[in-house]
């Protein structure tokens, strides 16, 4: 082939990204932690196709969603689209199988979604969602459990008390609005209120007056309620007084109280779970408890785990009413935050131990040693080529191995080796059959 | 809203499927096993976008691939496509980052791919691929290691000796063909040979004569070599004799010998790894060692792990030559086989323990108990609603929980409970604080 071929430029599409090992290793770790926490409560995994009928995805009919949807005609002339979230596929899935599966049904789903968003805002067009939901029950037990799951997720990931779960209940605000005779203006008022942290009190009040067509006094009253601060007990007492006499509002306050009381009973302090009447969450379908979760060291990154209770998941696809509650862990956002906070130890290897290969004739001995170590649970990489020890150690250092086992012909004969700690640079002699126990027993891995 | 809404029929696209918990639980387990095995050899994870420039995906220019590609124009007017395998994205990825990452580079990638295949053949249009590759080295050590990884994967999944890894080396056949003066007919001869298991000797011979334009005698000679059976030693001796005098053939035989010898040195018997000169693998880009893996109880399902060595991964995108070797685990195929062989215990829960909730006032005690158990590593689900015990036990049985902890007001006061084994139906009394240890200590979970 003497003809010169034109090379194709290797690149990804705008708004898409590759995950190199250094980022993918902690990303896989986060996914595993989420799975473990979900499973510890009996949530079960499901999966649905990336492609769905356009009709299914556009069912909600929101212009915003529709504009961002990746849609096209497939080989069979069907209009199809890439899912833009995991909620719509879950609604479709539930309508299809709930009779077979039965309720209550607790599922988790970790998967990619696609949105043709404006990339100037730093948004990606492909990202991971990590949702969990309990459907088929209106019981407050699921609201409590959802709070516990969010708590366990953040703790397991390593934030201990470095985050705060903000809880509210839509019924509290609805009750107040009903009491004020403003219930039909619920939606625009909540949408304005949702911007409180971003645009401030004055602007929110102005928007309420302008868009929701309420008086300044009414806006002020709504904002007073939203701005309640203090201990849960204090807030609950104030809320009770404000909504007093309105059934919906009173029920909302009681539910908030039940969640807080029971969450605290399991030993979780107010330090990580608090009532925050200012969170409203823009989405119209939330009807009860709602959640947002902020990192104390990095609140500006936004909520890393949000969700809430809804009355009916799958009304577009079935007559069966499916109330539920769920939340979504912002895995990629958390990963970015952890990188920024230096909470991720950069490594480009999944194995702890590296064995340089420099005694060509001893190949099968190197292989046997690695096999033995793997059998005792140690992850080991052997260098595939016979090269100078220095070069191989450089490779080991670049990749980030913790230990190097240096062993040549003489050492094999004497059944000893040198164990090099790559962090300290220290080297010590070790009997071959003791390496496994030494590495494990010293909790080095 | 008195207007009647038309319901959207909940359904998936033809060739696509949902994974319900009973199938998704073992599927997640298989993915985790694959990850663990890959990591134990130092393979690192990467991820690439589902969507790529059409130009990147169509680079190989195979008509078959192009026909199956899901392609469309995105919002920015770019021609894009859904990846149809993980090899092309890996080639693009390597061309882009190998300078930064360095070689040797060992990666694994578990992800979905899409092909608009004919669904009549029972094929799906979306499936999971689970690949691992070592690039940047021509060393035989990587060929040996690839064999060990395939072995470990099948063992960890639970097939022990119920499978066989068939190994061949393309150089052996190439050498023989060169010796016979048929080297330029390499491709059509290998393609015919690859059908040996499917269409039988006579048809393969006929195809070789017709398509590759060789004599019946030549076809017979090629088939004799491909049909060699017996111990590895016997086959290696016969192969040596047949290719004797041809450098390529002799090198191929020597490489096969090195792989077999070293694999056996790690304690793997001929019972699971054998030389099979009949496998050729249709893909033109394999140049050295090649693999196929069959289940002994279900060979008809085809190879569950295949791959091989190639000379140059990313020639379309970079001038840097990247030789490598890798294989792909047919995870969905294995899952189907395991279901057929009854190797999957059907369960619709990820938690082992179920706690019925029937004493409304004790909610926080139930929650505390579950929290304590989770802290000792036990997965626990609490029923969210107060219902009759019988109904809740029926739910527990349907989902497949192993144990039920029955506890009411009196039991909470006395700090005891009833532990019901759902398999045997046996019930025993237990002190609350002993449950964790009892469940763990008896290796019940």
Smallest Cβ distance to B42: which of A46, A265, A381? Answer: A381
Residues A111, A130: Cα–Cα separation, whole Å: 7
pLDDT at site B67 = 86
pLDDT at site B308 = 97
| Token representation of residue B313 | 């991964």
pLDDT at site B183 = 85
Residue of A nearest to B73 (CA): A72
Give the sign of the dihedral formed by CA A72, CA A74, CA A80, CA A86. Answer: negative
Counted across chains A and B, CB pairs separated by less than 8 A come out at 295
Query: Are residues A317 and B9, on separate chains, in Cβ contact within 8 Å?
Result: yes
Identify the residue among A29, A115, A134, A350 best suited for mutation to test binding to B, counting B beta carbons within 10 A and taking the highest. Answer: A350
- To the nearest whole angstrom, how far is the Cα of A358 from the nearest Cα of chain B? 12
Query: Are residues A152 and B395, on separate chains, in Cβ contact within 8 Å?
Result: no
Query: Are residues B350 and A45, on separate chains, in Cβ contact within 8 Å?
Result: yes
Q: What are phi and psi of B105, to 5 degrees?
A: -125, 125
Give chain A positions within 8 Å (CB) of B101: 20-21, 348
Give chain A positions within 8 Å (CB) of B125: 51
pLDDT in tens, B388-419: 999 999 999 999 999 999 999 999 999 999 99
Residue of B nearest to A47 (CA): B19
- CA angle, corner B333, sides to B331 and B339, nearest 5? 105
Smallest Cβ distance to A49: which of B12, B46, B371? Answer: B12
Give chain A positions within 8 Å (CB) of B412: none
- To the nearest whole angstrom, how far is the Cα of B353 from the nearest Cα of chain A? 9
pLDDT in tens, B59-72: 776 777 788 999 99
- The CA-atom distances, in angstroms, between A271 and each of A142, A149, A168, A267, B228 are 22, 16, 16, 11, 72
Please check the confidence at residue A36 and state whether its pLDDT lies above 80.
yes
Average of per-residue pLDDT across A140-167: 96
Give chain B positions within 8 Å (CB) of A74: 13, 70, 116
pLDDT at site A4 = 58
pLDDT in tens, A157-189: 999 889 999 999 999 988 999 998 998 888 888
pLDDT in tens, A434-444: 888 888 876 55
Give chain A positions within 8 Å (CB) of B76: 14
- To the nearest whole angstrom, how far is the Cα of B140 from the nearest Cα of chain A? 8
| Token representation of residue B271 | 């019972």
Residues B428, B142: Cα–Cα separation, whole Å: 55
* Helix or strand run (H / E) with residue B325: strand B324-329
**What's the full length of chain A, in residues?**
445
Say if CB B364 and CB A148 are below 8 A apart: no
Smallest Cβ distance to B78: which of A13, A46, A139? Answer: A13
Residue of A308, A332, A283, A338 lying closest to A165 (CA atoms): A308
pLDDT in tens, A205-239: 999 999 988 999 999 988 988 888 888 899 999 99
Query: Are residues A8 and B354, on separate chains, in Cβ contact within 8 Å?
Result: no
Give chain A positions within 8 Å (CB) of B42: 349-351, 354, 379-381
Q: What percent of chain A has pLDDT over 90?
A: 77
Residues A141, B364: Cα–Cα separation, whole Å: 10
Identify the residue among B4, B12, B68, B116 best suited for mutation to test binding to A, counting A beta carbons within 10 A and taking the highest. Answer: B12
- The CA-atom distances, in angstroms, between B321 and each of B137, B309, B312, B314, B391 are 10, 14, 6, 7, 65
Say if CB B136 and CB B104 are below 8 A apart: yes
* CA–centroid distance for B224 within its chain: 32
Residues A187, A283: Cα–Cα separation, whole Å: 9
Please check the confidence at residue A196 and state whether its pLDDT lies above 90.
no
pLDDT at site A1 = 41
Residue of A nearest to B316 (CA): A7
Question: If you write DSSP's letter for every residue of A256-275 in order, what string do you get?
Answer: HHHHHHHHHHTT--TTTEEE
Query: Are residues A18 and B46, on separate chains, in Cβ contact within 8 Å?
Result: yes
Q: How many CB atoms lie within 10 A of CB A129?
A: 19
* CA–centroid distance for B130 within its chain: 5
Please check the confidence at residue A96 and state whether its pLDDT lies above 90.
yes
Question: If you write DSSP's letter for every residue of A109-167 in order, what string do you get?
Answer: EEEEEE----GGGT--SEEEEEEEEEES---HHHHHHHHHHHHHHHHHHT-TTSEEEEE
Residues B50, B85: Cα–Cα separation, whole Å: 10
Q: Sketch out chain B's domains with CATH numbers.
A: 21-340 (3.30.930.10), 353-441 (3.40.50.800)
| Neighbouring residues of B265: CB distance < 8 A, sequence distance ≥ 6 | A364, A367, A368
Residues B34, B327: Cα–Cα separation, whole Å: 12
| Neighbouring residues of A217: CB distance < 8 A, sequence distance ≥ 6 | none
Query: Are residues A10 and B262, on separate chains, in Cβ contact within 8 Å?
Result: no
Identify the residue among A347, A381, A400 best suited for mutation to test binding to B, counting B beta carbons within 10 A and taking the highest. Answer: A381
Burial string for A259-276 (b: 16+ CB within 10 Å, else e) reads: bbebbeebebeeebbbbb
SS3 assignment, position B286: strand
Residues A264, A144: Cα–Cα separation, whole Å: 10
Which residue reads 């334009």 in tokens? B213
Residue B166 bridge partners (DSSP): B274, B292
Residue of B nearest to A54 (CA): B13
DSSP symbol at B19:
B
Q: What are phi and psi of B354, to 5 degrees?
A: -120, 135
Give chain B positions within 8 Å (CB) of A27: 45, 47
Say if CB B18 and CB A93 are below 8 A apart: yes
pTM: predicted TM-score of the whole model, two decimal places:
0.95
From first to last of the 445 residues of chain B, give the pLDDT tens digit. 444 578 999 999 999 999 999 999 999 999 999 999 999 999 999 999 999 999 999 977 677 778 899 999 998 899 999 999 999 999 999 999 999 999 999 999 999 999 988 877 778 999 999 999 999 999 999 999 999 999 999 999 999 889 999 999 999 989 999 998 998 888 888 888 888 888 999 999 999 999 988 999 999 988 988 888 888 899 999 999 999 999 999 999 999 999 999 999 999 988 899 999 888 776 678 999 999 999 999 998 999 999 999 999 999 999 999 999 999 999 999 999 999 999 998 899 999 999 999 999 999 999 999 999 999 999 999 999 999 999 999 999 999 999 999 999 999 999 999 999 999 999 999 999 888 888 877 655 5
pLDDT in tens, B284-314: 789 999 999 999 999 989 999 999 999 999 9
**What's the full length of chain B, in residues?**
445
Residues A106, A325: Cα–Cα separation, whole Å: 10
Say if CB B238 and CB B130 are below 8 A apart: no
Query: Are residues B47 and A374, on separate chains, in Cβ contact within 8 Å?
Result: no
Say if CB A171 and CB A249 are below 8 A apart: yes
Across all residues in chain A, what is the average pLDDT?
92
pLDDT at site B43 = 98
Residue of A370, A356, A445, A330 lying closest to A408 (CA atoms): A356
Burial string for A61-73 (b: 16+ CB within 10 Å, else e) reads: eeeebeebbbbbe
Which residue reads 């909940």 in tokens? B10
Strands (E) across A178-304 are located at 273-275, 286-295
pLDDT in tens, B85-132: 999 999 999 999 999 999 999 999 999 999 988 877 778 999 999 999
CA Rg value for chain A: 28
Residue of B128, B237, B210, B223 lying closest to B173 (CA atoms): B223
Which residue reads 């569950």 in tokens? B304
Give chain B positions within 8 Å (CB) of A112: 50
Residues A372, A369: Cα–Cα separation, whole Å: 5
Query: Are residues B97 and A18, on separate chains, in Cβ contact within 8 Å?
Result: yes
Burial of residue B375 (number of CB atoms within 10 Å: 0-12, 13-18, 19+): exposed
Average of per-residue pLDDT across A397-419: 96
Smallest Cβ distance to B18: which of A93, A348, A354? Answer: A93
Q: How many CB atoms lie within 10 A of CB A409?
A: 13
Residues B364, A263: Cα–Cα separation, whole Å: 8
- The CA-atom distances, in angstroms, between B380 and each of A374, B354, B369, B415 are 32, 6, 10, 18
């Amino acid at each position: 082939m003497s003809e010169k071929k034109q090379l194709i430029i290797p690149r990804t599409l705008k708004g898409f990204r590759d995950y190199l090992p250094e980022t993918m290793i902690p990303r896989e770790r986060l996914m595993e932690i989420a799975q473990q926490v979900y499973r510890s409560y009996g949530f079960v995994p499901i999966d649905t196709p990336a492609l769905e009928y356009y009709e299914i995805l556009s069912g909600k009919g929101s212009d915003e969603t529709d504009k961002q949807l990746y849609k096209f005609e497939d080989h069979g002339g069907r209009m199809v689209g890439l899912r833009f979230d995991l909620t719509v596929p879950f609604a479709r899935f539930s309508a299809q199988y709930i009779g077979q599966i039965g309720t209550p049904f607790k599922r988790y789903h970790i998967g990619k979604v696609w949105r043709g968003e404006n990339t100037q805002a730093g948004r990606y067009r492909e990202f991971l969602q990590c949702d969990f939901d309990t459907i088929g029950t209106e019981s407050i037990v699921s609201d409590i459990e959802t709070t516990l799951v969010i708590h366990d997720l953040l703790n397991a990931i390593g934030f201990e008390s470095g985050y705060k779960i903000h809880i509210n209940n839509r019924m509290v605000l609805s009750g107040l609005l009903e009491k004020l005779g403003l219930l039909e203006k619920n939606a625009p008022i909540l949408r304005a209120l949702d911007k409180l942290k971003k645009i401030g009190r004055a602007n929110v009040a102005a928007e309420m007056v302008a868009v929701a067509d309420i008086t300044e006094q009414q806006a002020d009253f709504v904002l007073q309620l939203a701005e309640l601060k203090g201990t849960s007990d204090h807030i609950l007492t104030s809320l009770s007084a404000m909504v007093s006499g309105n059934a919906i509002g009173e029920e909302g306050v009681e539910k908030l109280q039940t969640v807080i009381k029971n969450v605290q009973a399991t030993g979780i302090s107010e330090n990580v779970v608090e009532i925050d009447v200012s969170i409203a969450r823009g989405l119209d379908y939330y009807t009860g408890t709602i959640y947002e979760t902020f990192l104390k060291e990095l609140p500006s990154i936004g909520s890393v785990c949000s969700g809430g209770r809804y009355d009916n998941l799958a009304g577009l696809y079935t007559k069966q009413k499916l109330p539920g509650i769920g939340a979504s862990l912002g895995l990629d956002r958390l990963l970015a935050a952890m990188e920024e906070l230096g909470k991720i130890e950069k490594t480009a290897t999944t194995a702890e131990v590296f064995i340089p290969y420099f005694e060509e004739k001893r190949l099968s001995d190197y292989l046997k040693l690695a096999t033995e170590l793997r059998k005792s649970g140690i992850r080991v990489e052997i260098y595939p080529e016979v090269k100078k020890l220095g070069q191989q150690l450089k490779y080991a250092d670049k990749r980030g191995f913790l230990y190097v086992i240096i062993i040549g012909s003489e050492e094999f004969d004497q059944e000893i080796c040198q164990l090099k700690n790559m962090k300290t640079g220290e080297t010590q002699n070790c009997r071959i059959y003791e390496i496994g126990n030494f590495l494990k027993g010293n909790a080095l891995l």
